[in-house]
Amino acid sequence: MTDNNPNTVDLSWKRYLLPPIHPEGVKILLVFIGISFVAGLLLPFLGWIGAVLCVFCYYFFRNPDRVTPEGDSLVISPADGIVSNIKEMVPPEELDLGTEPLTRVSIFMSVFNVHVNRFPVSGTVHKMKYRPGKFVNISDKDSEDNERQEISILTPSGKKVGCIQIAGLVARRIYCPLKEGDKLEAGQRFGMIRFGSRLDVFLPKGVMPKVVLGQVMVAGETVLADLEGKQKKAEGAVK
């Protein structure tokens, strides 16, 4: 699956310096620009500070195109970031993923990562549960107190994959317009989290990740697991 014409590849400077930004970021960027303009009229140095903040805002909400590997059984990374944890644990009961421990892969996103999230597998939104929460660091904790959007996905083969958006310390702003019954393709954009966050993926029983702790992930491109294949427990996995 590709975002653009598969027969063309953009190699221009715009790909790197002027990527498109997410619609949710446009209104925030306009607010930054307005405040910076007014501040600059009052004190010029504040205008320069505002300009830097506007550039950061644009950079944070960037929404680059991605090319997703083909394969109905592939689980694709839903987020840019680093694999911060691989752990066996019982998934949230609301997601109807069973009561046995499953492998959970956590991907930590810093403020410098792309924060647009992508569907990890092709399938139907089976269950959703939103939980409000607190401002808590999420880099290396189970994060039960954080704001989160829990999603379970039913694949065409009948397997279920869990995907949980977790907001972090700086802000609690999860954007997820999905609803139960929606059908999406692997790699398709489905939401975002603002200013530092984490994505957890629960794999079906017996499916092991193809990634390891500390690996850099690219949303919509990095293969996280294969639903039809098995692999030895990933290095660094924690029970």
Instruction: State the catalytic residues.
Output: 197
What pLDDT is attached to residue 1? 46
Identify each DSSP E strand in the chain by its residue range: 74-76, 81-89, 102-109, 116-118, 123-131, 148-154, 160-167, 174-175, 183-184, 189-193, 197-202, 216-217, 223-226
Distances (CA, A) of 212 to 21, 215, 224, 235: 30, 6, 9, 6
Whole-model pTM?
A: 0.83
What pLDDT is attached to residue 169? 63
- Confidence band of 185 (pLDDT split at 50, 70, 90): very high
pLDDT above 70: residue 190: yes
- Confidence band of 235 (pLDDT split at 50, 70, 90): very low
- The string of pLDDT tens digits covering residues 41-98 is 989 899 999 999 999 889 888 999 999 999 999 999 999 999 999 999 999 999 999 9
- Confidence band of 232 (pLDDT split at 50, 70, 90): very low
Task: At 52, list the tokens.
Answer: 């830097």
What pLDDT is attached to residue 239? 45
What pLDDT is attached to residue 19? 85
Q: What is the identity of the amino acid at 84?
A: S
Q: Quick check: 217 and 79 in contact, CB under 8 A?
A: yes
pLDDT above 50: residue 194: yes
Place of tokens 């966050």: 197
Query: Which of the pair, 202 or 232, is modelled with greater confidence?
Result: 202
